[in-house]
Structure 1
Amino acid sequence: MSGGFPEVRPRRLRSSAAVRRLVAETTLEPRQLILPMFIREGAREPIAIKSMPGVVQHTRDTARKAIAEAAQLGLGGVMLFGVPAVKDEVGSGALDPDGILNVAIRDAVSEVGDELLVMSDLCLDEFTSHGHCGVLDSSGRVDNDATLAIYAEMGVAQASAGAHVVGPSGMMDGQVGVVRTALDAAGYLDTVILAYAVKYASAFFGPFREAVDSSLQGDRKTYQQDNANARDALREVDLDVAEGADIVMVKPALAYLDIIRQVRDHVNVPVAAYNISGEYAMVEAAAANGWIDRDAAVLETLTSIRRAGADTILTYWAADAVHLLNRR
């Protein structure tokens, strides 16, 4: 204290919007955001997802329009999920060149070319009648190694359809290595692997299951990670990087900000985080009840994920966030 006043006044750097912009430590930019999208086979009009207000299962035509808008907004990419009309025990629709996901990839690439990264979810859960991320053995458990063989084919099918980035998300041991080997052998040396390296068995996935019409029986705790464990996350990341992952991802984001920070400090590859369906739904529900300022909460949420260390965020708010940023 000097003359009864503080000698250091941190509030000076908060005194106006202009000075706050000048000294902001964390940026949130369109290029850092990826929009997840659901495309439903045979849909003639978009189908609202009740638990995720504002998000829909797209038709092929509305998906193309949304992808074109994403490119115009300067987003980093779109992550495509297919919702097939028919499922079976082995998820054969995932390998079908005319299956909804591979068709949607081709549609997207024909719409935007290389102006926007077209990313595809590489997992069987949307395509299996039992809703698990892999095929089942005779005892009903997910068969890791049999699933890997399908993932390898799936990666090549998606790259052949034009995907710039494939996202192995099933949490099978060795999934990145088999996909990388298959892609390279097929000549897709430049196809990027965004590995869902850290994916927890989370209660916040609930609305996503409506979004993909999940048929899940039971849970995924035998292959997705236990939310009590942090060291396990770094082990998974190390394995995926060693197997050829170009980008690693943490999913979910908000309940795992500490994990995002640990992963960011641990590796030298880009780190993504998935701001998942339940996180989205909570904010939208609170805002709909008038309990919070929705727009401010959206930007605060995304900024917190960036501040934790994520270079890139998958978020259903991606397009909305750009409009909000432009109005600041």
Structure 2
Amino acid sequence: MTQQVGKEIRNSKKTKRVLRILLKVFVTVIIAIFLFIAIVFTVNKISSHSEQKRIEQYGQHVSVNGKQMNVIIQGQGEETIVLLPGYGTAAPALDFKPLITELTSYYKVAVIEPFGYGLSDQTREERSTANIVSEIHTALQSLHIDRYILMAHSISGIYSLDYVNQYPDEVRAFIGLDSSVPALSEQKVDSSVTEQIKWFRNLGFARLQLKLSADPYDRLPYDEHTKEQLNILRHKNIYNTTQLNEAVSMYSNFKAAEKLTFPSNLPVLFFVQANHPVTDRWIPEHEKQLEESVHGEMVLLDAGHYLYRSHPKEISSKVRGFMSGIK
């Protein structure tokens, strides 16, 4: 009996030692996690403050609904191309630089940086297609640009569907740069998800995410200074509230676009990646958009989604040839 009691006491002491060790490990892990978060937060705050001073201004500001929208205009051509970015592009005017360089020898090029992009202000207005289209049109009116070729990348293809139907007398042709199609909608994003992303951003983990991700401009025709500015603006604009609100509105914007088609008399040129990594419907859906066009064409490129970064010369050359065939 005495031996049994002694054994139980020893087991009890051993259990307590194990529990104390586990508790110490748990507390150490918790402290390490909080310390890691504090370091990430502090580094982000210091870096953001430093980078803010290094941002170089470009383009010009246009007043739209009491906010400032940034637009860059280059080139002296008789015809104007208006360039619209894809979702989340940190600094459209810099991101489009290789394509702008190729186009400005023949066209005047105006790059719109919508609210929440590049050097433009943010806005609390709903990111519906109607609001985005109206804001872009207001900016162009302020700049007295009233006849132009509309060129759009990715999600701006959805906004452009509405745009060309609202302003058919202004848009001379539409050029899609791997532009989105209504039938292949993005997934619905709930506002509760974006609230979590805001915490992720505010704590500084968005900067860490970019640090650990591959350089999207590696081995592409961007000089080091431009890449530095792009990197700064990626940190500045990633997951900003305006872009997160756009993500929430994206599903309904796609659904609304399902009712729209390009006007049959509008010349339409698509540049499309030949091998989409996710869906085999990418090319067929673009072909459907061209079915009623009297002057429609699609060019397949062996490239990724950001094909204007890697194939600016091919795009510029084809645009000139396409437009020369339009009276």
Pick the TM interval, shorter chain: 0.3 to 0.5
Return the structure number with greater helix share: 2
Q: Which has the higher contact order (CA 8 A, sep 6+)?
A: 2
Structure number, greater radius of gyration:
2
Relative to the length of structure 1, the TM-score reads 0.36
Relative to the length of structure 2, the TM-score reads 0.36
